[in-house]
Amino acid sequence: MAFKPVTITPVQDWNGITRITLQDVELEMGQIATTLKRLVRGFPIPVLFNEQLLERICALDSGLTFVDTEIGAIYLHGMEQPNGAQYEFDVYLQGLP
C-alpha cells in the first residue's frame, strides 16, 4: 500500500470475475489467508483465495435473519433468543458515500 498511482487497463472481454494479484508482498501465505477470512465475513459477493471459496458467515446470503431498516439490513445476534446485553459487534458497511 504505497498509495502511488496505478495503471488501470480496460478489458474488452471481461468474464465477470475480478481478480486481485498481490506482488512483492512480504507476508506469509497463512497470514494472508487468515486476514482475508476475517475481512470477507460480511462481504456481499463470493470471494475466492487461491481457488478456494472463503466462508462469509455474516453476509446477507448466509442464512442469518436480517431486518431491513432505513440504514440498510441489520442482523443483531440474540434478537431471536435474547440472552443478556451484547457489548461486542461487527459492522459491515455496504457501498460508498
Q: Say if CB 32 and CB 20 are below 8 A apart.
A: no
pTM, rounded to two decimals: 0.65
3-state DSSP assignment of residue 32: helix
Q: How confident is the model at residue 97, as a pLDDT?
A: 44
Query: Which grid coordinates belong to 55?
Result: 466462508
Those residues whose C-beta lies under 8 Å from the C-beta of residue 68, and which sit 6 or more positions away, are: none
Q: How confident is the model at residue 31, as a pLDDT?
A: 92
Q: Say if CB 41 and CB 57 are below 8 A apart.
A: yes
pLDDT in tens, the chain (97 residues): 678 888 888 888 888 888 888 888 888 989 999 999 998 998 888 999 988 999 999 999 999 988 898 988 888 877 777 777 777 777 877 654 4
Question: Distance (Å, rounded) from C-alpha 48 to C-alpha 64?
Answer: 21
Q: How confident is the model at residue 36, as a pLDDT?
A: 92
Other Cβ atoms less than 10 A from the Cβ of 27: the count is 11
